[in-house]
Chain A
Amino acid sequence: MIAADRPLLKIQDLHTRFHTLDGVVNAVDGVDFHVLRGEVLGLVGESGCGKSVTALSILQLLRCPPAEIQGRILFEDEDLLRLSKEDIRKIRGSGISMIFQEPMTSLNPVLKIGEQIAEAVRIHKEMNRRESWQWAVEMLRMVQIPSPGSRSRQYPHKFSGGMRQRAVIAMALSCQPKLILADEPTTALDVTIQAQIMNLMLRLKEEFNTAVVLITHDLGVIAEMADRVVVMYAGKVVEEAPVRELFKDPRHPYTLGLMGSIPVIGRKEKTGRRLHEIPGLVPSPLEKPQGCRFHPRCNKVMDICRVKEPPVVRPSETRRVSCWLEAEDGGRV
């Protein structure tokens, strides 16, 4: 394998558990996927399926205990879970960086915007205060904040939601990380601002050749942004495919269900069909169903689904799906 093909991030059999008073919660339960250099990987699923916990596990931002992370997280062939606290701290920001969902709360209200970015720069780069401040202003210019010089001297409460998210992106990109974990970066924003932020992220990604793990429940965003998609359900990967193939030919009933839940203007008139919903909720991580975790909500459920976990089937080199419908023997035992 040549170096360029080698994935930037490779997650193998990741388990993240939380030890709580009610019992052990398996939030992430044997997840594996990889991210190539410079690509956008979409991580899709409903609330509570383990997307965010996966991202937090990669950067080890969870408090351990109560959390416990197992498996392998290879970043440039280095297992992050084996690194010391100090080494993982050095990777945060310079190797892997994260953008959070809430732009309103992800900036410190008592520090000037420029100060927060400059501080992040100084952690990883040998710069004095003035150089790092100039760098911060430059980053603000890059995320298209008007008059970045004076804006950098303002406090976050003077910024609107969209501008704050730009500032957060500037902070995350300030040390040119190779990978950005974007946890629902546009969910809290207006639709028009969403599009701006997404375009900005795509442009910056090209400019810095950064890989992005885009965590979202919005398949529209995925269709626009992602190269490949990993669909998660109840702490497991149920389907993985290049984005076009996924939308053309979704295999897992859960993916189908997600796609059916996207509103399409004019569909009702054309087909007489109402918006589809997946009945029920993501099961509580404390009491996950036997067999396939999706079976209580699946409209194609078979007997075997209730008893045995489905195998991982690979219809092609770039795809995989975990469902009895796809299995060779069609689920007969």
Chain B
Amino acid sequence: MAEKEGYTSGPPKRVTDSQLRRKWAKLKRNKAALFGGVLILLFVIGALLAPVLFKGNPSAPNLMNSLEPPSLKHPLGTDELGRSILGRIIYGSRVSLLIAVGVVSVGVIIGIPLGLVSGYYGGKVDFVIQRITDTLLAFPGFLLALGLVAILGIGLKNTMISIGISMVPIYIRLVRGCVLSVREEVYVEAARAVGTRDVVILLRHILPNVMVPVIVQTSLSMGTAILFAAGLGFLGIGVQPPTPEWGAMLGSARSYLFTAPHVATFPGIAIFLAVLSFNLFGDGLRDALDPRFRI
């Protein structure tokens, strides 16, 4: 059932306590994943402790110090309105994290149930859901999110919803593929043979057995979500100023690319590191959890 994303679903194994410890050990041995995990941790801590790490309002303009290069007072310099870039990056991590979580929630909440139903019942329901999925997948993800923003309008909430919906088909495909293989397992048939209801079979017997690839996908999607959100912000149709958002910072720095390159560089590095961390961690998670690569 290796779907587009390239991991297998079966035979899914229960992650019990001792197994969990083994997976954790395996994840720790993977240096790249560990690096990703540590970056994510820093990123989360930065978001949570933003008011402690940076005193003052990151959005308050101070035109006297505009476009200053990095100094002791402003370690990463200031932007065109004289705001500390470090402060905006720290506060921006809150927005990015919020968007990442929001997007993945939308994808998971809509994608998992549809994938379960599509895979388990098959037939007409499956046909309809899959054709809709095909249609959505025909658009490049970012273009789809862009189109949805055009329909829904600009703003933080709409950014999350738009990018979230653009990720729904990935979750539908992934879950459906796993369900297709799990539903043929003898234990599902055995559960049916003692009169278990469909809902119970889906939620208690099938869902836990498809969670591993979903968890991996969640980590990978977070990176993509941050990148998409930055893209929308860059184009000026994502999170609106003065809210500090990495993409929007990059967008407004465009005009000063030659006179004050640091204004664009640091938000760019922040985006790069955030996306990289989720991708590395997701890859490591997949290697640790995927039964195909078990040592």
The interface stretch among B74-82, B106-114, B194-202, B274-282 is: B194-202
Do B193 and A92 touch across chains, with their CB atoms under 8 A apart? yes
Do A93 and B189 touch across chains, with their CB atoms under 8 A apart? no
Complex formed: what's the CA distance from A53 to B225 in Å?
A: 48
Option from A91, A93, A105, A155 in Cβ contact (under 8 Å) with B185 = A105
**A135-190 interface with B by 8 A CB criterion:** 155, 157, 168, 171-172, 174-175
The interface stretch among A10-18, A96-104, A251-259 is: A96-104
Residues of A within 8 A of B189 (CB): 61, 100, 106
Complex formed: what's the CA distance from A102 to B189 in Å?
A: 12
Do B195 and A171 touch across chains, with their CB atoms under 8 A apart? no
Complex formed: what's the CA distance from A255 to B239 in Å?
A: 78
Do B193 and A123 touch across chains, with their CB atoms under 8 A apart? no
Q: Does B12 contact A (CB under 8 A)?
A: yes
Option from A59, A89, A108 in Cβ contact (under 8 Å) with B187 = A108
Give the A-B contact count at a CB cut-off of 8 A: 75
Q: Does B209 contact A (CB under 8 A)?
A: yes
Complex formed: what's the CA distance from A100 to B186 in Å?
A: 8
Q: Does B73 contact A (CB under 8 A)?
A: no
Do B193 and A97 touch across chains, with their CB atoms under 8 A apart? yes
Q: Does A215 contact B (CB under 8 A)?
A: no
Do A119 and B204 touch across chains, with their CB atoms under 8 A apart? yes
Residues of A within 8 A of B205 (CB): 108, 111
Q: Does B16 contact A (CB under 8 A)?
A: yes
Do A93 and B187 touch across chains, with their CB atoms under 8 A apart? no
Do B14 and A89 touch across chains, with their CB atoms under 8 A apart? no
Residues of A within 8 A of B187 (CB): 105-109
Do A91 and B195 touch across chains, with their CB atoms under 8 A apart? yes
Given A89-B197, A102-B186, A119-B204; A109-B13 close (CB under 8 Å)? yes
Complex formed: what's the CA distance from A181 to B190 in Å?
A: 12
Q: List 6 extra interface pairs beyond A98-B190, A106-B186, A109-B14, CB under 8 A.
A: A100-B193, A105-B185, A107-B187, A109-B187, A110-B14, A168-B190
Interface pairs (10), CB distance under 8 Å = A93-B193, A97-B194, A98-B193, A100-B186, A100-B190, A106-B190, A109-B13, A155-B16, A157-B14, A174-B194
- Interface set of B (CB-CB < 8 Å, partner A): 12-14, 16, 122, 185-197, 200, 204-205, 208-209
- Interface set of A (CB-CB < 8 Å, partner B): 59, 61, 63, 89-94, 97-98, 100, 102, 105-111, 119-120, 123-124, 155, 157, 168, 171-172, 174-175
Interchain residue pairs A-B with the least CB separation, the first 9: A93-B194, A93-B195, A92-B195, A98-B193, A105-B186, A120-B194, A108-B187, A110-B14, A110-B208
